[in-house]
Structure 1
Amino acid sequence: MKDWTTLEPDRVRLLSRHFTPGRGGQKIKHVTIHHMGGVGGLDFCWETWQTREASAHYTVSPTGEIGQAVWDRDTAWANRNLDSNQKTIAIEHSNSGGPEQDWPIGEKTLEEGAHLVAAICKYYKLGRPVSGQNVRFHSIESGGFTECPYHLRPGHKYHDGYIRRAQYWYDQMTSAAIPTKKASAPVSDLTKKYFTDFITGYLGPQFDAIQEIWRQLRGPAGTGWEQLGKNDKGQNLTLVDAVAAIRHDLARIEKKLEER
């Protein structure tokens, strides 16, 4: 994580599908824990969610890298439960092995994931992490539709240690912030992260749209479109070239008609 205080992730790769902009007027109330059912990080999840109608806000890789695929202000399709989705921040944890090893999770992933839970609880004023309250689990939120997050669920081998580490990090982060003087005025919700997220979230799709227009005009890699024909140099025509050629031919036809 680049900044635990502002929730600035190590890397951002936003989805353009399979999430819902905004939170339907709901406020963030809790964090939901997932495991990936695979070994990977942000790119692994991003590729998977291109064809699967699912998503999460954050991913934690085997190396502990924290990625963001959906902005906090938007609703990830994480829990198979609209109300839960609108109120939660969803975190995907990489496994370190597959089903033949019974889906283990590495220490680095567990530690950084727990730290992220603590940071989210602090940032959104959710209170100290408590299992079943402000820290929830995919299997429970989905009504038993899935076993995810498997060993991170209550009663399974990673659960208790993970929650203890989340509480440890929360205590570390909040104890340093205990005021020694008269409390200052409340901090505005218009934080640096809010403006960064807004600018990136607004401009990102605009840049994508501009790039698509540019591609349509010039063709793949700027090499023109084969279906539009070729110029006298044997190069594919771009859309602009093709329009210019049509205009030239029309002018020539008009001139011939006038000469008759």
Structure 2
Amino acid sequence: MKSFTRIFISILIISLLSACSTSDDEKKITNDSKEQNPGVQSGQNLPTEKGANQTKPAMTQAEVIEAVKTDLKTDLTKLLPSELPLENGKHLTATTKSDESYYEVVFYESVNPVAINHESLENGQIIARINAQKYESVQEASEQVAFENFSELGGQTIDLGYNITGYQDAGAGSMWTSWNEGRWAIGAHTHTSEGESGEKLAKEATEFLESHTLPIPKPNGFAHIDVYQLDNRITWQKENIVYMIDEVKDPMIALEIATSIE
């Protein structure tokens, strides 16, 4: 009986020791797991990299225009507007072409920021086009501008305000209200059936130019503005180089862009 009791006690001791050892091992495994995943709790996601899904901020107009200047590879003086009119929330971008004696910049507005010269701009909304071309001589450049002194050509006179006299001339279904300011010739076009609209545009342009200055031409410049937003062109020369702004629908915006040229 004593022998059986000793055997039973021995078995009980061995079982207790085994249970303690298993408990210690489980605790060790649990602690090791916590060390490998510090701070992770049940149902909690690991943090993602900061800014991983953020997009780059849109470029300002000044940054876009500076990038355009850098992209143009030409020997010509790069004359571009300091600012262009954009709809609220739209972004400025452009396409460029250039060589040593020519450059062209087409400015676009886009819903989202678009890189300069991106292929998607082929069907974009054009704001304005600006180009420059070098000619063999000053005379050849002057022929492209086709400056006119309207006081010498005559026509029905009209008071445009600010001591400026305009001259109206009609023919082939068109009417022009034209005048000179310094070295610039300016003509507002309409149809003969709507002569008053041409006069109104001419007076509006005259008032605008009282507080805004067109680029200084050498020697001359010519601005064609159109009531029907079909053919707005502003051209001026710097000796044998001719600069032109076109592809602008609104005639007053065309003048606004021209007067911001730097």
Measured against the shorter chain, the TM-score band is under 0.3
Q: Give the TM-score taking structure 1 as reference length.
A: 0.20
Higher fraction of helix: 1
Higher fraction of strand: 2
Q: Give the TM-score taking structure 2 as reference length.
A: 0.20
Flag the structure with larger Rg.
2
